[in-house]
Chains A and B, each alone.
Chain A
């Protein structure tokens, strides 16, 4: 039996500081007193349920040069996350139940943030043959997705939805119509035309979001639209939700804080899929958060090596690593700037993603898992990529002065990071 306490914890909605007791990996209760083996002094900082990220590229197996479970789950813990859903676009692709079992066993041994693996929707992400959904689910896969590669074949997506609906499995989509996206490396618009870079229009996203929402409505499958980046795309989701389609929407920290103007420096650091859009799109996404049209904030943490990001803009890979800055970035840019309340932002990191998955809402109630994060909402400090736990030690937000830093993360009652 292990028992510990976080003293002087500020809790949302409470006037006075509290001592939060943790026992055997669960929350025991408040101000109970008695013997403990460990004490963590929160010193008046906010203690809140650990974050959940439904969209994390951990790159293991096969791409450990970019990230691995140890570095990625440590980065998650440092960012305040207690649970992450790992994407399946690894090498080999996570399309076999044995690979799911292996990932879970290794993450368990590491004892950092909890890992809930996604499995591929199609074998090898080739978009032609479905994976064994039921066997993957039995092995522990929590969603099906070919994320990184849009499912181009509408018929395959339809069958995936039908099959997944029967199993109650969530399908996450990377919705960008490949034939319209073509070789675009940034948002198509005035900026891409000025910079002479091949553009990827918001319509490529909207067209496939439309298809995926129609299929969700048709089949009853729960379809989660990953990384919605454009006003056009989000408006469609809002419309389909009003029709009763079982769709949910995710937005990312980068699409909420950066615009296509960033490509004016010609730094592939800003090359991401879907691309950074216009200031108008960013404003629309932010307003949609305030109107609760969006269901969760997912990071799409997508680490690459420095050498890969030093290639030219046509060749450099898509992706931004952001697990360790997601919360302070959005606390500073959304809460301190008055777009959202603190509780409103926390929702998108906690109960929002849990609801998308059909998991219990994270809380501090006795008997719930002791997955917690301690947030320093007062101190401002610059983003320092060299100190990241992630292997991707560079960032579009390098040097940005942010508040809201996670200072400690507990998973199963154990201090695992921050």
Chain B
């Protein structure tokens, strides 16, 4: 039984509710193993993807998750749409509301837009990434991947996730921090002082400017994509210096738990934030993260649309 109308972030979600999402994800993953990879669970529902910022991968993953459950999909992408003609997000929403969507999957460059839209519609909202703020389904698929891949995983209590890189601009880091600490894990965030928010404070969180203490004993290590424009905007001196100090390599992984998993939310800059050989090593679950995107999003859509009945 689900009491949530939206998935904007994990605010208000309990650990039990989040673990229930993982159980539903297990079922969805089995559906995707069948010869006929489709169930009628969401027949009659309309899911609309509202992508004000382009992201083909995430949008396709959500659309696949909706169609695998027989929902109808209405797709809106900002490029070349009325948005370019100056239409406001509110008017765009009203237009698509007229098509009677039951759930919107929203991505926007500005933090908070899913909250604004939730005030203006009766439909459910799933946040597919808003600015630097949150990307909850990415965090869910990361945690689900860990949950199903870490040898003998018996839950998140006592586990440590280390996230390395451009924390400041990363909604993936913020959502993973929120999710893993809620599930009982501790999180270590690591990056140069210019890319690590100074005033992030909460229980079970530690901040590091050096890789070694961040990775020590970690059960999962996630490297974040480094954007090239961080150098030109004065946040980093050079790629070479970043690589020397913050690249996740096989050598630094020796400090982590012997079974530690290596993760990356993609898209990956090989040999910048992560050594290419490490990304291809048996420790790496990067491909499994991508594969888990669809069943996790199926579980989210199902839980919000049907689970509340």
| Residues of chain A whose beta carbon lies under 8 Å from any beta carbon of chain B | 189-190, 193-198, 265-267, 307, 310-315
Contacts and interface: CB of A to CB of B under 8 A. Distances in A.
A190 B199 CA distance: 5
Contacts of A194: 200
B276 interface: no
B90 interface: yes
Interface in B78-129: 88-90, 108-113, 115-116
A315 B83 CA distance: 13
Contact of B88 (A196, A267, A311): A311
B199 A314 contact: no
A366 B43 CA distance: 81
A193 B115 contact: no
Which of the four size classes fits the interface of chain B? 20 to 34
B131 to A, nearest CB: 6
A267 B174 contact: no
A315 B110 contact: yes
B197 interface: yes
16 contacts: A189-B199, A193-B198, A195-B111, A196-B111, A196-B131, A196-B132, A197-B112, A197-B132, A198-B132, A266-B111, A266-B112, A307-B90, A311-B88, A311-B89, A312-B109, A312-B112
A265 B8 CA distance: 12
A198 B171 CA distance: 13
Contacts of B134: 196
A312 B197 CA distance: 23
B110 A314 contact: yes
A195 B201 contact: no
A197 B111 contact: yes
B111 to A, nearest CB: 4
B160 interface: no
Contacts of B182: none
A196 B199 contact: no
A197 B131 contact: yes
Given A196-B133, A196-B171, A265-B115, A313 B199 contact: no
B213 to A, nearest CB: 21
Contacts of A196: 111, 130-134, 171, 174
Per DSSP, are chain A's interface residues mostly helix, strand or loop, or mixed? loop
B199 A312 contact: no
B207 to A, nearest CB: 11
Interface of B: 88-90, 108-113, 115-116, 130-134, 171, 174, 197-201
Contacts of B132: 196-198
Contact of A197 (B90, B133, B199, B201): B133
Given A196-B133, A196-B171, A310 B112 contact: no
Contacts, number: 56
A313 B133 contact: no
Nearest to B200: A193
A240 to B, nearest CB: 28
Contacts of A195: 111-112, 133
A312 B108 contact: yes
A358 B83 CA distance: 50
A196 B169 CA distance: 8
Contacts of B112: 195, 197, 266, 312-313
B109 A190 contact: no
B249 to A, nearest CB: 29
Contacts of B174: 196
Contacts of A267: 116
Most A Cβ at <10 Å: residue of B171, B174, B197: B197
Given A196-B134, A267-B116, A313 B111 contact: yes
A313 B108 CA distance: 11
B88 to A, nearest CB: 6
Contacts of B197: 193
A415 B133 CA distance: 51
A313 B200 contact: no
A313 B52 CA distance: 14
B23 to A, nearest CB: 29
A314 B131 contact: yes
A198 B134 CA distance: 14
Contacts of A193: 197-200
B289 to A, nearest CB: 22
Nearest to B52: A312
A304 B116 CA distance: 18
A196 B199 CA distance: 12
B89 A312 contact: yes
Contacts of B115: 265-266
Nearest to A311: B88
Contacts of A265: 115
Contacts of B88: 307, 310-311
Given A190-B199, A267-B116, A313 B110 contact: yes
B171 A312 contact: no
A385 to B, nearest CB: 17
A196 B111 CA distance: 6
Given A193-B198, A313-B110, A314-B109, 12 more contacts: A190-B199, A195-B112, A196-B132, A196-B171, A196-B174, A197-B111, A266-B113, A266-B116, A310-B88, A312-B113, A313-B112, A315-B110
A266 B199 CA distance: 20
B99 to A, nearest CB: 21
Most B Cβ at <10 Å: residue of A196, A311, A312, A314: A196
A314 B52 CA distance: 13
A315 B109 CA distance: 10
Contacts of A190: 199-201
A353 B89 CA distance: 41
A196 B176 CA distance: 14
Contacts of A307: 88, 90
A373 B131 CA distance: 47
Contacts of B113: 266, 312-313
B208 to A, nearest CB: 16
Given A195-B133, A196-B111, A312 B200 contact: no
A307 B116 CA distance: 13
